Amino acid sequence: MIDSESLLAAYDDQLRTDAETPNAVSVTRHGPLRLVTFPGGRGFVTYHDLGGADAPAIRRLVPEALAHYRADPGIGRVEWKTRGHDHAPGLHEALLENGFTPGEPESIMIGEARLLAVDVPLPEGVTLRRITGEPDVRAMSAMQDEVFGEPVSEEMATAILRRLALDDGMELWVAEAGGRIISAGRLEPVPGTEFAGIWGGATREEWRGRGIYRALTAARARSALGMGKTLINSDSTEFSRPILERSGLVKVSTTTPYEWRR
């Protein structure tokens, strides 16, 4: 087994680059920050690290980054992605001062794909498949919005379809019962790295605890191995973290999104 320190180092070195934002419309560098614009008027702030910045420097960086997005009327919201292991004195306070609201912390999970690629029995009547067609993608996106307590967003479904059209290796997987999507998630191989990410995992409440999410994860891990990816990463809620830990993934840090809305 690879130790957690090595996994975290691989995460920082391989994933905290432009590889993190493959479908960006634009990326602007501002000091240590990468100010990313995604389709649909969404801004995203990330970085490899903050370059040893102290609290006064960070207090200046936050409004400077926000000014970049305020200047573009097409940007309606901005996410600042923080990581628990970063040296970032005063960042939480600076984000709050500038109108950002923290979301729920998630666990950064990493492990070997082979540990996930196991046979998982499904409940009777449940099937798995990879989807590519627009009606399926819109149904999947609507289910995920509902599970996460968000309004159903045609904008998000359109962004996913636009990403699929790039044919960059992203895969969408769903579980169905009675012709209805009950669980879903995507696989994102990261070019030039050992990693593939598993994202967007969502299962309808009445189907949880029956191995469906684990089976979907196993299907994505097998596909990742077929692409030559040996490591899996995921930002996991408390619903999925225990499942991934039982499969051998390790919590190496945490990530908390902070969101600003115009």
- Per residue, the 3-state secondary structure of 171-240, as one string, reads EEEEEEECCEEEEEEEEEECCCCCEEEEEEEEECHHHCCCCHHHHHHHHHHHHHHHCCCCEEEEEECCCC
For helices 154-165 and 134-147, angle between their N-to-C axes, nearest 10 degrees = 130
The band of 212, judged by pLDDT with boundaries at 50, 70 and 90, is: very high
Which pLDDT score is estimated for 231? 96
Mean pLDDT lowest among 1-5, 136-140, 244-248 = 1-5
**Domain ranges, ordered by start, for the chain:** 18-107, 111-254
Report, as an integer, the average pLDDT of 121-135.
Answer: 96
Return the structure tokens found at 7: 């996994």
Q: What DSSP state is assigned to residue 22?
A: T
Assess whether pLDDT exceeds 80 at residue 20: yes
The tokens of 165 are what? 């059209």
**pLDDT tens, position by position, 169-208:** 999 999 999 999 999 999 999 999 999 999 988 999 999 9
User: Bridge partners of 44?
Assistant: 36, 79
At the top level of CATH, which class does the domain 111-254 belong to?
A: alpha beta
pLDDT-derived band of residue 2, with 50, 70 and 90 as boundaries? low
**Identity at 216, one-letter amino acid code:** L
Neighbour tally for 246: CB within 10 Å: 10
Is residue 166 very low, low, confident or very high in pLDDT (cuts 50, 70, 90)?
A: confident
Q: Which residues pair with 261 in a beta bridge?
A: 77
Report d(CA 108, CA 217) in Å as an integer: 16
